[in-house]
Structure 1
Amino acid sequence: MVLFGASKEEEDQLRAAANVQQQPGVEHRQSYSSANISAYETADDMVSEPEEYPNPEHRTSTGPQHASDHPHDAELDDATINGGAPSSKYKDAANSADSSVHEDPEPYNVDSDMDENALNRRYTLERISSRRTVEDVAAEDLLKTISGHNTHASTPENEKSIDLAALDWDDPSDPANPQNWAPWKKWAITFTVALVCLTCSLGSSLYVSGTPQLMLRFGASQELVISGLTFYILGLALGPLMTSPLSEIIGRRWIYVFSLPIGMLFTMGIGLSKNIHTILVLRFFAGYFCSPALSVAGGTVSDLWANSPSDMSFAIALFCLAPFLGPVVGPIIGNFAAEHKGWKWAAAWVPLMFSGAILPFIAAAPETYKPTILSSRAAKRGQTINRPPMTGKAIKEMAKYVLLRPLEMLILEPIVLVMSVYIAFVFAVLFGFFEAFPIIFNGVYHMKQGVSGLPFIGVGLGLVSGVFFYVLMDKFYYFKKNPDGTRGNFDENGNMIWDPPEKKLLIGKIGAVCLPISLFWLGWTGRKEVHWMSATASGFPFGFGLILVFLSVLLYFSMAFPPKSVASAIAANNLLRYIMASVFPLFTVQMYHKLHIDWASSLFGFIALAMVPVPFVFEKFGPRFRARSRFGYAAYFKQLAAEKAQKEAAAAGSAPEADSDDTNEKPEEVVSNSV
């Protein structure tokens, strides 16, 4: 355990925690279709031989199991995106196990030489066998944090009340379970939420097409008018911070139903505005109220497809594509709208048309969030739901988790900081293209405004190709098909061999190489003596590399941290990504005028070139960073050990039970001391 920075005493605590991986008081449930989203069971990073399942009774067969019974791939869920995160999807690893096993399973036997990786596996196996999703684990951890007491205890005032976390489907074929709905219905909902994400992100770049006319109409400077893009992106960044936890209370459907129409009203106000200052204020609120869809759509996809990893892979890829494709489609449509109909159509009426077209489908879409569905059904059956009171302390803890934890991880966690800066830079360059492309294709090739937006097709094709490349890698490399029809790698005993998180960085390495190539290509072919098609084609490797780096980073986050920390890590990534993207358009025009097209694009290219080693460095040193992380699995198990020791001391009467504040802070002290 020296590798993980733990002393002998801490190692003993770590091993002792393995006897109570099931959170105290958390019931084992029988949700057949639970989404087992990856709280990565950190596979042995340096041990060549995979470990067998710790307890044979939890295995479903003696031979190789189907891929659907094992972790499939790291993707997004609601607990990890605040606007959007991929984490591994697992189908239930004990589909054929007797339900009685899940009522009160025997703790796994822990060998004296079991290391942290084995304990991580053991934790996930128990979670899977108890039919609990990672989203369940994250929600329960958060609920325990904000309530400061056992979330599953009955209230003395009403012994008949039922804990929300204890509710479950009536049986595996329960028609209320979204995973049991007809495929056409699930795909219709999936495409609907993806289109909502595309529509929200589309509003950012459509506005830019009307910039020249806005300058003439209101006599404003270019920087002031372009800041309308900045305010919209800031709204996209800040909106999910509050709406994501709100979806845990009221469900996902109502977030869509309420937020999109409010965002449409602010968009309509832009078209009716009489001065540029009103437009800027309305742009911020339009982005703010459109953004919630970006934070909960990943959870909707998880609700629908968690029991079908092969379909989940494509559904999540589609969801990830939409927020990037929106800004690319914007100039293609907006330039023609602005040229022929004026700035109001680009900034207001076209976005309203897209939102209005998707609104009926949102209104017709059913709720997919399990706790909301079950609590509604329980109310109809006359059952009382026991919910923890939202006291001032609880609200304070919620705010601390939602607002401060992402910032804390961004500052103190090298993995989150470096990876987020990388993604933020690449995403910001994409938004810088909104000003750079008109300079190149209007200024150099003298294209009309409408036609000058068409070169963004190259970036769009790159994004789509990158998603399909990821799907093919997932199917034929990460989980290739075996002769017996199963997918994935197995040992001689039929146990799945789980790869370390660093293996997911392969697609990031490919994308990282594509980005500087694209930027240098654009800079040195955007001239009169070179045909315009060459500069247009340079957008393809940029889009291809952008989506691969993005997917790689989110996959790595989802596999490197426990459930609750994954949510904060991706929230930090999203916040930094949008904030940096909001700034780049403000100086892109000046940079291209002063440095000219060749060296301005090359400056971006050199920065991208300097960042190429990032995925290669984390592939080599990632295990060390994860082992020393304050938010990783090593720290997580030490927290469990501290909680167990504290509860045992309280039960034995050797020490008074600490209040909720102490309960929450003690594990952090153990983690801090170990670091």
Structure 2
Amino acid sequence: MSNSDIQTQETYGDKPANEKISDSSSDNSNEIYIPENDDIPLSLTEKPQPFHNPKEKEEDEEDHHHAHQHNPDEPVPLESLDWDSPDDPENPQNWSNLKKWVITMTAAFMCLSVTCGSSLFVSGTFDMMVKFHASQTLVLSGLTFYLIGLSLGPVLGAPLSEIFGRKIVYLTSMPISMLFVMGVGLSTNIWSVLILRFFSGFFASPVMAIAGGTISDLWSIEMLGVTMTAFCFAPFAGPVLGPIMGGFAVAAKGWKWTMWISLMLSGVTIPFIIWMPETYKRTIMRRRAKKRGITIQKPKMGLGGFLKLILVLTVLRPLQMLFAREPIVIVLSIYSAFVFAILFGFFEAYPVIYTGVYDMSHSITGLTFIGIGVGLCLGVVVFLSIDRFIFYPTQPDGTRIPKGEDGKPIIPTAESRLLPAKIGAILLPISLFWQAWTARASVHWMAPLAAGVPFGMSLLLIFFSVLLYFMLSYPTIILASALAANNLARYIIASVFPLFTVQMYKRMHISWASSFFAFVALAMMPIPWLFEIYGPRLRAGSYFNRLIAEEERQRKEREEAGEEEDEEDTLSLALARTMSRSESMV
């Protein structure tokens, strides 16, 4: 770690939740904003909890009790309502483990079915070329349209769940998406296929955007990291499973069965969605208030203001971060998007390799994605091992949270969480060169297949590290836009790769086409080490961190002056929290 690293130890209970700290190697003008305590996870598996002495705890409980004694005739802000007690049975975190795990697996399976639908379609490419008399590139653009639809998830998911809750979004978006999937299967021309593919992805995207939020609603700090890490596996496993299932279906029944399988996978979740209770706290509080006769203050912001706020958080600010203002977001989003896009490029490259070189049938070619699937599984194991045994080994007091001399938790620097990315950055070019120069008739097919294992590991390790770096670099309201920018970059870039991969592998030949990707990966390999050196300086100079720090200062001044809290600030923070908790897994 360089001398410019920022000391990020933050205390709890005695200091304000938000504070600005300076880069030790710079003047006081290089201040960065540190998020609220509840918004900074130490990692995907650990998160500090506030420390209170007994006296403070009694005062907090007394304040909590008085806060719930509302005058039924006096409207109250929704944000002022809270659980009745730590054991409140309506709090999703107090539900039985069985119930929480069923909901968790339902959310995970929904994401798996949505992402599996992207690659299932590719298995029917050659059959559709014959049936529709279309070129391979035109047929493959069906994958492109689907991914573009998925990229718009944050635009729909966060505001809809904020207004209606999680369950109603699942209950509407999944069935509507399924109708468009059915429409694809019943299409008689390629143009209707392409249009319907876009809308099937578009209406499935809210599921992807809020599923992570459902998980964070359910689990306590101790379990959240483990469940989220395992849960993040689903959106990556879905695209890998698609060719494995789709290849055999197309060989036996034709391309339409890729859509029927997608419908079946989504249909399995519908009974569980109907059973699933609401988990979003704001929605639960709103319903509870209605039952108890408590009047909620009506928002002063009109529909126009609300739509403008959504547009800023989900579109304008992410685009601004991605193309102009934020080097951290630009570089890390492009890096993670490149790795993600290679995965979708492989859906076209693998048939060229295994059908063209090894004369495998299309159904057997789908099985070659097992190598990447094994790599994804190993990536989860490696990340959890690093997190548990290197980032957070057991402390003398039996906990895994390191503490300072004053006994307060130490918030790690973002740069200290780059080890998984370093491992992934090394594995990525190795896997691509491995595949490039073993995919030939004189070498057994197991050799290029095995190259998928380190690729799958690198995909997951780089993604998790980028996620953690963002979470430790930005406050909630900026984190939401940063994750939206990353999501947009990943899906848009991935949507383009299928359009040129086939031509690239045929014209450059397999060895040099895969080597081209490997050389790009090699050029990007220093990124984790560069961020370890220059990351603190970049975070200190972040335009958006400075902007939020100034807004926070003004908010505190209004609070001290006794002015009413700005409704737009409250709503934007609620939306941002919904987005940041949800998008972290897509």
**Would you say the 8 A contact 1:69–1:94 is kept in 2?**
no
5 Å matches for 1:357-436? Answer: 357-391=268-302, 392-410=304-322, 411-436=324-349
Q: Per-residue displacement from partner, 1:119-172 (whole Å, max 9, x unpaired)? A: xxxxxxxxxxx9xxxxxxxxxxxxxxxxxxxxxxx99xx961121101111111
How far 1:99 sits from its partner (Å)?
Answer: 3.9
**Would you say the 8 A contact 1:508–1:552 is kept in 2?**
yes
1:312 is matched with which residue?
A: 224
1:187 aligns with 2:101: yes
State the distance in 1 between where 2:20 and 2:369 align: 40
1:151 is matched with which residue?
A: none
State the distance in 2 between where 1:198 and 1:661 align: 35
Q: Secondary structure at the match of 1:473?
A: helix
1:572 aligns with 2:485: yes
1:609 aligns with 2:522: yes
Instruction: Provide closer, same or farther for how the CA distance between residues 214 and 97 of structure 1 changes in structure 2, counting only shifts above 3 A.
Output: farther
**Would you say the 8 A contact 1:245–1:402 is kept in 2?**
no
Pick aligned residue for 1:273 from 180, 187, 190: 187
Q: Secondary structure at the match of 1:291?
A: helix
How far 1:270 sits from its partner (Å)?
Answer: 0.9
Which AA in structure 1 matches 2:239?
Answer: P
1:490 aligns with 2:459: no
1:345 aligns with 2:314: no
5 Å matches for 1:459-608? Answer: 459-608=372-521
State the distance in 2 between where 1:170 and 1:489 align: 32
Which AA in structure 1 matches 2:84?
Answer: D
Pick aligned residue for 1:637 from 525, 549, 563: 549
Pick aligned residue for 1:328 from 229, 236, 240: 240
Identity, % of aligned positions? 51
Structure 1 stretches of 5 or more lacking a match? Answer: 6-17, 23-38, 48-67, 76-86, 106-129, 131-153, 652-656, 665-675
Of residues 519-528 and 465-474 in structure 1, the stretch that sits farther from structure 2 once superposed is: 465-474
1:205 aligns with 2:174: no
How far 1:409 sits from its partner (Å)?
Answer: 1.6
2:579 is matched with which residue?
A: none
How far 1:478 sits from its partner (Å)?
Answer: 1.1
**Would you say the 8 A contact 1:507–1:549 is kept in 2?**
yes
Instruction: Provide closer, same or farther for how the CA distance between residues 277 and 45 of structure 1 changes in structure 2, counting only shifts above 3 A.
Output: same
Of residues 374-383 and 596-605 in structure 1, the stretch that sits farther from structure 2 once superposed is: 374-383
1:124 is matched with which residue?
A: none
Pick aligned residue for 2:42 from 54, 65, 73: 73
Of residues 440-449 and 158-167 in structure 1, the stretch that sits farther from structure 2 once superposed is: 158-167
State the distance in 1 between where 2:235 and 2:402 align: 33
State the distance in 2 between where 1:576 and 1:199 align: 22
Which AA in structure 1 matches 2:176?
Answer: I
Q: Secondary structure at the match of 1:624?
A: helix
State the distance in 2 between where 1:662 and 1:263 align: 33
1:354 aligns with 2:265: yes
Instruction: Using structure 2 for the length normalisation, give the TM-score.
Output: 0.87
Which AA in structure 2 matches 1:321?
Answer: F
Which AA in structure 2 matches 1:498?
Answer: I
5 Å matches for 1:152-191? Answer: 160-191=74-105
2:152 is matched with which residue?
A: 238
**Would you say the 8 A contact 2:119–2:239 is kept in 1?**
yes
Which AA in structure 2 matches 1:342?
Answer: G
Q: Per-residue displacement from partner, 1:418-467 (whole Å, max 9, x unpaired)? A: 00000111111000000000000001001111111111001011111101
Instruction: Provide closer, same or farther for how the CA distance between residues 97 and 285 of structure 1 changes in structure 2, counting only shifts above 3 A.
Output: farther
State the distance in 2 between where 1:70 and 1:21 align: 14
1:259 aligns with 2:173: yes
Which AA in structure 2 matches 1:398?
Answer: I
**Would you say the 8 A contact 2:342–2:497 is kept in 1?**
yes
Which AA in structure 1 matches 2:376?
Answer: L
State the distance in 1 between where 2:232 and 2:353 align: 29
State the distance in 2 between where 1:503 and 1:662 align: 31
RMSD, aligned α-carbons = 3.1
Instruction: Using structure 1 for the length normalisation, give the TM-score.
Output: 0.76
1:140 is matched with which residue?
A: none
* Count of residue pairs brought into register by the alignment: 545
How far 1:324 sits from its partner (Å)?
Answer: 0.7
Q: Per-residue displacement from partner, 1:49-82 (whole Å, max 9, x unpaired)? A: xxxxxxxxxxxxxxxxxxx99976334xxxxxxx
Q: Secondary structure at the match of 1:561?
A: coil
1:79 is matched with which residue?
A: none
State the distance in 2 between where 1:513 and 1:90 align: 31
Q: Per-residue displacement from partner, 1:319-353 (whole Å, max 9, x unpaired)? A: 2111111001100000111111110001x101011
Pick aligned residue for 2:60 from 90, 98, 102: 102
State the distance in 1 between where 2:21 and 2:98 align: 36
Q: Secondary structure at the match of 1:220?
A: coil
How far 1:272 sits from its partner (Å)?
Answer: 0.8
State the distance in 1 between where 2:384 and 2:498 align: 32
How far 1:644 sits from its partner (Å)?
Answer: 3.8
2:584 is matched with which residue?
A: none
How far 1:546 sits from its partner (Å)?
Answer: 0.6
Instruction: Provide closer, same or farther for how the CA distance between residues 188 and 662 of structure 1 changes in structure 2, counting only shifts above 3 A.
Output: closer
Which AA in structure 2 matches 1:396?
Answer: K
State the distance in 2 between where 1:19 and 1:471 align: 32
State the distance in 2 between where 1:69 and 1:297 align: 20
1:297 is matched with which residue?
A: 211
Instruction: Provide closer, same or farther for how the CA distance between residues 496 and 661 of structure 1 changes in structure 2, counting only shifts above 3 A.
Output: closer
State the distance in 2 between where 1:94 and 1:20 align: 12
Q: Secondary structure at the match of 2:201?
A: helix
Q: Per-residue displacement from partner, 1:386-430 (whole Å, max 9, x unpaired)? A: 131341234323322222111112121000000000011111100
